[in-house]
Amino acid sequence: MKKLIPILTLFLPLITLSQSYIVNEYKPKTDSLIIYFDTDTSSSNYYFGIPSCKIKCDGTVLISSISPILPEKSPCKQKEKIIGRNCYTETTVIYGFSQYSGKLQGYYIVYHPSAKIWIRYIFNKNKIVEVVEHFYNSLSSKPKVKGVQNSLMALVEMDEEGRLRNIKAQYNLSGKKLKKGSFKNGDGTILFYRADGSLLRSVEMKNGIPDGKCIYYYPTGQILTLGKFEKGKFIGVWKEFSTEGKTLATTDYN
């Protein structure tokens, strides 16, 4: 059996990415609130989402237009050939992948620009086949979970279409296991946390996608943002609040 080519990374400056690969991430309109939306408080959250990137394929440099979180197809088109590639902006590696015969095959890894793994999952012929691992960008030696790296944020089960099925486990930065909410087999309310263990948001889910009420919270428990999803899309009026309950911004998605 042929072996997949290992993916190499560089040691790079520190930046953190959001948790949008699991559930659509709301982008606050009030700049001062951005710091409260970071799940990985082991480092600063400088931006939401991931920029476009370059990939070298057979000597040609391509600009990637696929999603680095849940790609719809392999970025390179080689047939009957095992390859390992990195996606990068300048010297920063954003994600790396392996493919065989034109299809994603093996590890697909999204990196913190510090070169630590942010998300890691496994493909077989373009289909997700393993539990997704989500890591903090931290030097923490916790939690001690057999078979996974340090600083584990969550173990997430997804179906072959990339929809969320189950949260197997969630941890704060100290390694304490956190509650998962009522979410099971794609339905119910899912809970997300910051690295310190404070509740970040609760989201109602149906069939693995956001559908219903979504609430973001300040670390102290007050409501930060309130809105609704319908079949994965933002709907209605979303509101942002101060710690005193004053409305700071509204966005009408209708």
Residue bearing tokens 């077989």 = 124
SS3 228: strand
Judge whether residue 180 has pLDDT over 80. yes
Instruction: Find out whether 234 and 24 touch, Cβ atoms under 8 Å.
Output: yes
**Mean pLDDT estimate for the chain:** 82
Mean pLDDT across 65-85: 79
39-48, 74-83, 107-116, 244-253 — most confident range: 244-253
d(CA 48, CA 109): 18
Instruction: Find out whether 117 and 135 touch, Cβ atoms under 8 Å.
Output: yes
What pLDDT is recorded for position 13? 25
Mean pLDDT across 28-33: 92
**Cross-strand pairs, 11:** none
What pLDDT is recorded for position 22? 66
What pLDDT is recorded for position 44? 56
d(CA 234, CA 71): 22
- Give the DSSP per-residue string, 154-207: EEEEE-TTS-EEEEEEEB-TT--B---BT-BTTBEEEEEE-TTS-EEEEEEEET
Is the entire prediction scored with pTM above 0.85? no
Q: In the structure, what pLDDT confidence band is assigned to residue 21 with cuts at 50, 70 and 90? A: low
Domain ranges of the chain: 31-252
